[in-house]
């Protein structure tokens, strides 16, 4: 979604703090997902997370005097389809990988978007491929190699690939969010229909796994926390990208990796390896570089400036 120019009357730090808080909430949500994964399959987590999000977005729509009724259901369907698949894979990765690793692989979406832009330029043949963008993609993949190396040694390559795939599909979902924003669909409506898709997909998964008929207080609290934290973080990011500078916001968004790394070490006794840290730094650097290059190219920036809405 193309971000409007920041309002001069609004303090410039407000959007930055919104991003900082949102990344912390997303990382905290990741902790809840990891804890809840011991009791619930990924599909059921997606179901409850989406149900909470849909109810909250209905409340937001009512509060703002809007409606969730849309004239472009097909666009919402494809956005929800890709977004829900990415969400399921991400939750699966969080439950089976170190928290910071799963978060970092999902943050590869910015690098994947750069790769899509390169591929599009080559196929269409109407734009010169920026060598710096190619270098950025290669650096990002080098970071992935460093991160997945310890997971290969621990025979968790499959989980790592699922986390990586979540970032690929998330990149396509962001482009679809951009298209919806261009035609005037409000953020709460986009998130609402995405949540409805999550409820449907999660519900279908329960036909195979079955639903918990009895919940512990701990499990119920985790499910509620996942939905509330994700929804509030989404709204914060949406507001930040609507009022602040895209490049600053994108840079601060990588704090999510740092929060997750700290949580993993403190709560889950995740191993701290120099190779994994180097991989995270490469991916963060590649993502920031891709964002910077896009912001300097108006044609590319038109399809790149959208907040994480998963």
Using the predicted structure, report yes or no on whether residue 2 has a pLDDT greater than 50.
no
Per the structure, the count of domains in the chain is 1
The H-assigned helical ranges of 37-98 are 42-63, 73-96
Q: For the residues 277-303, what does the mean pLDDT come to?
A: 71
Place of tokens 């918990």: 212
Cα 236–chain centre separation? 13
What pLDDT score does 94 carry?
Answer: 93
pLDDT digits (tens, 9 = 90+) for 33-44: 999 999 999 999
What pLDDT score does 12 carry?
Answer: 43
- 150-163 as b/e: b if 16+ CB within 10 A: bbeeeebeebbebb
pLDDT digits (tens, 9 = 90+) for 121-174: 666 665 566 677 778 778 888 888 887 775 555 667 888 889 989 988 988 887
Tell me, yes or no, whether 309 lies in a domain.
Answer: no
Confidence band for 85, pLDDT divided at 50, 70 and 90: very high
Tell me, yes or no, whether 55 lies in a domain.
Answer: yes
| 3-state secondary structure (DSSP) of residue 307 | coil
Tell me, yes or no, whether 110 lies in a domain.
Answer: yes
What pLDDT score does 121 carry?
Answer: 66
Q: For the residues 44-48, what does the mean pLDDT come to?
A: 95
Range of the domain at 81: 12-301
Tell me, yes or no, whether 7 lies in a domain.
Answer: no
Tell me, yes or no, whether 310 lies in a domain.
Answer: no
Q: How far is the C-alpha of 307 from the C-alpha of 309, rounded, in Å?
A: 6
What pLDDT score does 184 carry?
Answer: 86
| Sign, Cα dihedral of 53, 56, 58, 60 | negative
Tell me, yes or no, whether 308 lies in a domain.
Answer: no
Tell me, yes or no, whether 142 lies in a domain.
Answer: yes
84: nearest Cα among 196, 239, 223, 238? 196
Residue of 14 and 7 predicted with greater confidence: 14
Q: For the residues 85-114, what does the mean pLDDT come to?
A: 87
- % of the chain surpassing 90 pLDDT: 36
Using the predicted structure, report yes or no on whether residue 106 has a pLDDT greater than 50.
yes
Q: How far is the C-alpha of 139 from the C-alpha of 189, rounded, in Å?
A: 36
pTM assigned to the model: 0.81
- % of the chain surpassing 70 pLDDT: 81
What pLDDT score does 29 carry?
Answer: 97
Using the predicted structure, report yes or no on whether residue 309 has a pLDDT greater than 60.
no
237: nearest Cα among 256, 264, 258, 263? 256
Confidence band for 10, pLDDT divided at 50, 70 and 90: very low
pLDDT digits (tens, 9 = 90+) for 198-235: 999 999 998 887 776 678 999 999 999 999 999 999 88
Tell me, yes or no, whether 1 lies in a domain.
Answer: no
What pLDDT score does 146 carry?
Answer: 82
What pLDDT score does 173 carry?
Answer: 83
| 3-state secondary structure (DSSP) of residue 299 | helix
């Amino acid at each position: 979604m193309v971000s409007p120019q920041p309002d001069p009357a609004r303090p410039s730090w407000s959007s930055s703090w919104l991003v900082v808080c949102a990344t912390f909430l997303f990382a905290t949500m990741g902790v809840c997902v990891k804890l809840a994964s011991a009791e619930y399959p990924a599909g059921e987590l997606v179901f409850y997370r989406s149900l909470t999000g849909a109810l909250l977005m209905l409340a937001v729509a009512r509060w703002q005097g809007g409606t969730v009724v849309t004239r472009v259901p097909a666009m919402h369907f494809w956005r929800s389809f890709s977004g829900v698949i990415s969400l399921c894979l991400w939750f699966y990765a969080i439950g089976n990988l170190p928290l910071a690793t799963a978060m970092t692989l999902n943050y590869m979406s910015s690098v994947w978007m750069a790769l899509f832009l390169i591929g599009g330029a080559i196929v269409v043949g109407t734009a010169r491929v920026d060598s710096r963008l190619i270098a950025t993609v290669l650096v990002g993949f080098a970071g992935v190699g460093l991160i997945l190396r310890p997971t290969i040694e621990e025979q968790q390559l499959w989980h790592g690939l699922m986390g990586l795939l979540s970032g690929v599909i998330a990149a396509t979902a962001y482009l679809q969010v951009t298209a919806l924003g261009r035609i005037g669909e409000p953020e709460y409506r986009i998130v609402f229909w995405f949540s409805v898709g999550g409820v449907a997909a999660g519900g279908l998964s329960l036909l195979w796994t079955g639903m918990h008929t009895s919940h512990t207080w701990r499990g119920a609290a985790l499910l509620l926390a996942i939905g509330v934290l994700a929804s509030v973080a989404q709204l914060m990011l949406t507001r930040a990208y609507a009022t602040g500078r895209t490049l600053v916001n994108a840079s601060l968004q990588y704090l999510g990796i740092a929060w997750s790394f700290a949580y993993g070490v403190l709560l889950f006794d995740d191993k701290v390896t120099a190779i994994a840290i180097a991989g995270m730094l490469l991916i963060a650097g590649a993502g920031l570089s891709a964002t910077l290059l896009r912001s300097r190219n108006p044609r590319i920036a038109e399809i790149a400036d959208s907040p994480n809405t998963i």
